[in-house]
Every structure is written in structure tokens, then in C-alpha cells.
Amino acid sequence: MTTTNPQTGTNSANRDGSFASQAHQTAGVTATAQPFKNGCYATEVIDGTPERFDAIEIQGVREEIDLIDPAKSCCEVDNQNPQFFSVYLHEVEGGVACVADLATHELAVAYAEQLAGRYDWAIYDYHLTH
């Protein structure tokens, strides 16, 4: 298991370009305040075929609420000022699959390390530590 902090600027969107979404307060727009719910779902994504994946990525994420329709939102990678952290499995054939949305970087690292230990995958941590 290897943990690295690669250069920024990678694209860790799901194949359809989306990211997992949870409601948060953003600048100028307030979504309904709800406690963040940590979600881990690697078992469902791996689905008995871990050979489809070869690495793990950790990214900071920020949810942006649509100014026209506050019921809609878009999540974007934001490693400088994240609202939460997502853990992705890197697919051998390209792309990533999100397997966790976690409230803190520490929780994301711990979950990534658990998966890396089980499957012998490298961890690429894109969060910029201050």
C-alpha cells in the first residue's frame, strides 16, 4: 500500500461526469441544514470484482447549490476548501467510482487505508494539506 500526494488538476469525475451529492451551505445560498451523513459503499461498487480497480483516490469536494433552483446542486472537486471528502476507486479501463463521502479528511484516509490493505491498491491523496 502506497500513499502519495500527486499534483492537482486531475479529473476524478465518475464516467458520467457527476460526483456524489449531499446538501451543504454554500456562499450566498443556504440549503436545508442537515447533519452530514457519512456514507461508505465500496462493497456494493466492487461487487465481487476487485480486479476492475487498481488504485484509490481521495478528493476534497464542494457542493454548489443552483442559484436558480436551490433544490438542485452540483458537486465539484475542491481540494483547497472542501466541504467533505470523497474516496474513489480508480478503474483499470479508465474513470473512477465513488465509494465514500466522508465528513473529514481523516475519515477518508482511514477508509482508503482499510480498502488499500484489503486489496493491495495504492492511495493517491489529492487533498492539499495546510
Decide if 51 is inside a domain: yes
- Per-residue pLDDT of 24-52, as tens digits, reads 334 444 445 456 678 888 989 999 999 99
Number of domains in the chain: 1
Residue 71 class from Cβ within 10 Å (0-12 exposed, 13-18 middle, 19+ buried)?
Answer: exposed
Decide if 97 is inside a domain: yes
Residue range of the domain that includes 111 = 35-125
Decide if 2 is inside a domain: no
Quote the CA–CA distance of 16 and 110 in Å, as a whole number.
27
Decide if 53 is inside a domain: yes
What is the pLDDT confidence band of residue 92, given thresholds at 50, 70 and 90? Answer: very high
Segment 76-85 mean pLDDT:
93
Model-wide pTM > 0.85: no
Q: What is the pLDDT of residue 16?
A: 41
Q: What is the pLDDT of residue 22?
A: 42
